[in-house]
Chains A and B, each alone.
Chain A
Amino acid sequence: DAGVIQSPRHEVTEMGQEVTLRCKPISGHDYLFWYRQTMMRGLELLIYFNNNVPIDDSGMPEDRFSAKMPNASFSTLKIQPSEPRDSAVYFCASSSRDRGMREQFFGPGTRLTVL
């Protein structure tokens, strides 16, 4: 299995620009998660989906952030407009109910720098 795939791996953009991060979960997994990691706040859950439906977006920082999952193999996290404080590593993770477990597997992350 290829694992969770994220693109791009690195993104540098200027304040005010739109940023789109992409994620392909592990095939067969029915849950998808978006996390953000910063030095100040550590790893925090932004939003998660079950069977392509957003279940909990209470961690999304503000309206500039949006996430979609149009199908079982693709999700996007969009920031519009981006701000320097959005600079962080964004991780996507997925899980499935395998033998009653809910182990989450993480992608390599996207390191976002907003200038």
Chain B
Amino acid sequence: GIQVEQSPPDLILQEGANSTLRCNFSDSVNNLQWFHQNPWGQLINLFYIPSGTKQNGRLSATTVATERYSLLYISSSQTTDSGVYFCAAPYGGATNKLIFGTGTLLAVQP
């Protein structure tokens, strides 16, 4: 089945800094999602991005499906950005069975 790898595993930033999180997947995908799990454990949808680029405020994401990776950009980071960022891709060509990466733990310090 598909392998989903994320890097870096953890990251510490000062408030205001920018960062790039990476998600590599081992097979072609027709669905890719980025989530933020906040310190209270809630999984928040960030992007549904099987290909191309999307932006939402300070966050943006780019998926290059042909090269099997996706990037999540966080600009002007805030303490509320802290938490774990997951990417998830479908397993075995099925759109619905998502396999989650191991996540990037982000800590933004004031």
A residues with a Cβ closer than 8 A to B are 31, 33, 42-45, 48, 50, 55-56, 89, 91, 95, 101-106, 108-109, 111
Q: Is the CB of A91 within 8 A of B43?
A: yes
**A43 in contact with B31 given A33-B96, A103-B45, A111-B41 (CB within 8 Å):** no
Q: Is the CB of B33 within 8 A of A103?
A: yes
Q: How many residues of B contact A (CB 8 A)?
A: 19
A36→B23 CA distance, assembly (Å):
21
**Listed A/B pairs (25) with beta-carbon separation below 8 Å:** A31-B96, A33-B96, A33-B98, A42-B100, A42-B102, A42-B103, A43-B86, A43-B100, A44-B100, A45-B97, A45-B99, A48-B96, A48-B97, A55-B96, A91-B43, A95-B96, A101-B31, A102-B96, A103-B33, A104-B33, A104-B45, A104-B98, A106-B43, A108-B41, A108-B42
| Closest Cβ–Cβ distance, residue A107 to chain B (whole Å) | 9
Cross-chain contact of B98 among A45, A89, A101, A111 (Cβ < 8 A): A45
Closest-by-CB residue of B relative to A103 is B48
User: Could you mark each residue 75-110 of chain B with 1 if its beta carbon is under 8 Å from any beta carbon of chain A, else 0?
Assistant: 000000000001010010001111110110000000
Q: Which residues of A contact B91 (CB under 8 A)?
A: 45
A104→B46 CA distance, assembly (Å):
11
| Closest Cβ–Cβ distance, residue A88 to chain B (whole Å) | 11
Q: Which residues of B contact A45 (CB under 8 A)?
A: 91, 97-99
Q: Which residues of A contact B102 (CB under 8 A)?
A: 42
